[in-house]
Structure 1
Amino acid sequence: MFPRGLAALLLGAGAVTACATGGDPAPPPAPIPTAPPGTSAPPVPTVSPGPSAPGGLVLRWRLTGGIAGVGGPGALPDFSLYGDGRALVPAGGSPLEVREYRLTGDALRRLLDGARTAGLDRGRTVERPRIADAFTLVIRFGSARTRIEHPEEDGDPAVRFWKRLDPRGWPRQDQAVPPRPHRYTRLAVLAGEVTGGTGGPVRRWPLSPLGRGEQAGGGLCTVLDGDDAATATRLGKAAPAGTLWRSEGKVYSVRWRPLLPDESTCRDMAAG
């Protein structure tokens, strides 16, 4: 779920603090080294962080950049929390697998209170242009967005709160049900035409023509649902890495992107 080094950072501080019960308080997060002063843009006016519907998106974060260039266009967000307590994260191992956690009502309220205390209802940006190949953390809380460059060494309250948003560290008593695979109903297929030598297996694409998709998420995007989404999921899980697909006489590479509950179109997926 996290690049090496950041996983240890998140699990090592504050994961339990976010959702610990009142009768068994967790220890405070470990102190974080303070990075050299950066440039922080003025916060935008306070906005409502609540979802428009009980199951609407409440909070989302993603990490981008770094030497390896994680979290590129079309990538699944690292964490998405909804008003009904569901939290969805990449399962790891396959882009077609999403893990679902569910918080109790009390644990959800405490987590959202923590987000407000950390100032996430007021969007802002912290820039560190002198740090090359830095990761960038983007946290969306309602309509407010907080963007922090090089969060690994930041004592910012938003970064301290971010460390609580790894469901693997949530106490069992704060989870309404055990973690389980998330069953999505829509799948985005992101295609890129391959010219010249293919250098790998090429299979016939049996669904909607790949070349007719709209440009979004770093590729030609087609949203599949129902039986087509199920068929594409089976194809993606069965195909070896590097498999190419032939559609209407052209050859394409394909990336698979499950759509989350707040996403229904390619534009939704790309907006993140």
Structure 2
Amino acid sequence: MTRLRGTLIAAAVPLFLLAACAQPGTTAGAPGSDAPESASASPQSGDDLVARVESFGGFVPPDRTVGALPALSVYADGRVITEGPVPAIYPGPALPNLQVLTLSAEQVQQIVKEAAAAGVKPGTDFGQPNVADAPTTRVTVKTDQGVQSVNVVALNEAQAKDPMLTAAQQTARSTLAAYVKKLQDLSSGDGYTASKPYEPTSLAVLARPWTKQSGGEPAQADAAWTGPALPGDYLNPAIKIGCVVVTGADLDKVMTAAKKANQMTPWTADGQKYLINFRPLLPDEKGCAEFKGNR
């Protein structure tokens, strides 16, 4: 039996909230937006982001969501990076099962073309449903007019006849949800190569002090840390999670060790124990600064 790692992470270790959440239902370039619209043109290099779907917030402590992976990222060269299934065991594997597949140029263009009709544009009103502690879905698309982004609270959790939503808002939410589902179902269509494991060129190591597990938790064997000094730079003074980026020869050593570990493995370094979240950096991500707040 398998399940998506994102569910395991939310319950056990790391999706990321070190800064205040954006206002729900806003778009880039619109009043109240958390990210101004870019004036740049369409993606120019293979690593440029074309589209992304991600979630944040909800009833999850902020320190448990640092380094969350987007549900889906589409790049200009056609790569689509998603999380694949992992064994439904606890603790889960230390490394996420990231998969990459390739779309045709026509499919990438279609994703951008359909975004505006789906509501990914300034001024779309998604309303505020009568749902507490629900996550926010963010959809971002890079178009010829710049980066367009919308944040929608409880996109999939709100009731079909929520009394806090108008008919127009309900329609807007349904249209966006259908677009998101289409993006997430890309791997079931034609015109793409079979998925394969994503091989990162750099890995963020998010380390926090290890604490003894509560009664009933299975004891975990220690693992010796062989990478850069831990814990690295703290991402937020209020949340003691450090971050270092591993590359080059160190990356091979750390990845080999991580493949033998799980999410609750205590890592020992310089007489200290740490709990580590291994976070492969995506092609558009530059380093630890990615995790200091919402995207």
User: Residues 26-45 of structure 1 correspond to what in structure 2 (within 5 A)?
Assistant: 40-41=25-26, 44=29
Letter in 2 for 1:62: E
Are the aligned partners of 1:188 and 1:223 in contact in 2 as well (CA < 8 Å)? Answer: yes
Q: Which residue of 1 aligns with 2:68?
A: 75
User: CA, structure 1 residues 115+249, in 2 after alignment: closer, same or farther (shift >3 Å)?
Assistant: same
* Deviation of the 1:221 alpha carbon: 0.7
Matched, 1:59 2:77: no
Offset of residue 214 of structure 1: 3.8
Match of 1:98 in 2: 98
Counterpart of 1:50 in structure 2 is 42
User: What is residue 117 of structure 2 aligned with on the other side?
Assistant: 117
- Deviation at residue 266 of structure 1 after TM alignment: 0.7
Residues 125 and 238 of structure 1, relative CA distance in 2, 3 Å threshold: farther
Contact 1:49 1:144 in 2 (8 A): no
**1:66 shift after superposition:** 4.5
Distance 1:123 1:139 in 2: 14
Q: After TM superposition, give the deviation of residue 62 of structure 1 in Å.
A: 0.8
Letter in 2 for 1:194: W
* Alpha-carbon offset, residue 252 of structure 1: 0.7
Report the 3-state secondary structure (helix = DSSP H, G, I; strand = E; otherwise coil) of the residue aligned with 1:208. Answer: coil
Alignment partner of 1:186 out of 183, 202, 206: 202
Q: 1:43 to 1:241 in 2, by over 3 A?
A: closer
Paired position in structure 2 for 1:259: 281
Q: What percentage of residue pairs aligned between the two structures are identical?
A: 24
Q: What's the counterpart of residue 36 of structure 1?
A: none
- Paired AA for residue 130 in structure 1: N
Aligned residues of 1:125 and 1:147 also touching (Cα < 8 A): no
Q: For the Cα contact (< 8 Å) 1:57–1:83, is it kept in 2? A: yes
- What is the aligned partner in structure 2 of residue 202 from structure 1? 222
Q: Of residues 221, 225, 248 in structure 2, which corresponds to 1:226?
A: 248
Whole-angstrom CA distance in 1 between matches of 2:5 and 2:276:
23
Relative to structure 1, the CA distance from residue 74 to residue 40 in structure 2 (aligned partners, 3 Å threshold; closer, same or farther) is closer
Give the number of equivalent residue pairs.
236
The CA RMSD over aligned residues, in Å, is: 3.1
Q: 1:52 to 1:218 in 2, by over 3 A?
A: farther
Partner Cα separation in structure 1 for residue 227 and residue 26 of structure 2: 46
Q: Shift in Å at residue 144 of structure 1?
A: 2.5
Give the alignment partner of residue 152 of structure 2, picking from 138, 148, 155. Answer: 148
Instruction: Work out which of the residue numbers 138, 153, 164 in structure 1 matches 2:182.
Output: 164
Q: Deviation string for 1:19-59 (max 9, x for gaps)?
A: xxxxxxxxxxxxxxxxxxxx855773565572243431111
Question: What SS does structure 2 have at the residue aligned with 1:201?
Answer: coil
Q: Which amino acid aligns with 2:265?
A: T
Give, in angstroms, the shift of residue 205 of structure 1: 1.2
How many angstroms apart in 2 are the aligned matches of 1:42 and 1:244? 41
1:107 to 2:129 alignment: no
Q: Which amino acid aligns with 1:210?
A: L
- The runs of 5 or more residues in structure 1 that have no matched partner are 5-38
* Letter of the 1:189 counterpart: V
Q: Give the TM-score of the pair, scaled to structure 2.
A: 0.69
Q: State the partner residue of 1:35.
A: none
Map 1:125-136 onto structure 2 (within 5 A). Answer: 126=126, 128=128, 130-136=130-136
Give the CA deviation at 1:127: 5.2
- The one-letter code of the counterpart of 2:155 is P
1:219-268 deviations in Å (ceiling 9; x for gaps): 21110011211211111110144210111221110111000001121113
Distance (whole Å) between structure 1 residues aligned to residue 26 and residue 280 of structure 2: 34
Partners of 2:204 and 2:280 within 8 A in 1 = yes
Distance, in Å, in 2 between the alignment partners of 1:192 and 1:69 is: 15
Q: 1:220 to 1:161 in 2, by over 3 A?
A: same
Unaligned runs of 5+ in 2: 8-23, 31-36, 87-92, 159-169
Q: Given the superposition, is the C-alpha separation of residues 124 and 222 from structure 1 closer, same or farther in structure 2, using an over 3 Å criterion?
A: farther
SS in 2 for 1:155: helix
- The letter for the 1-side match of 2:272 is K
Q: 1:230 to 1:255 in 2, by over 3 A?
A: same
Which amino acid in the other structure matches residue 226 of structure 1? G
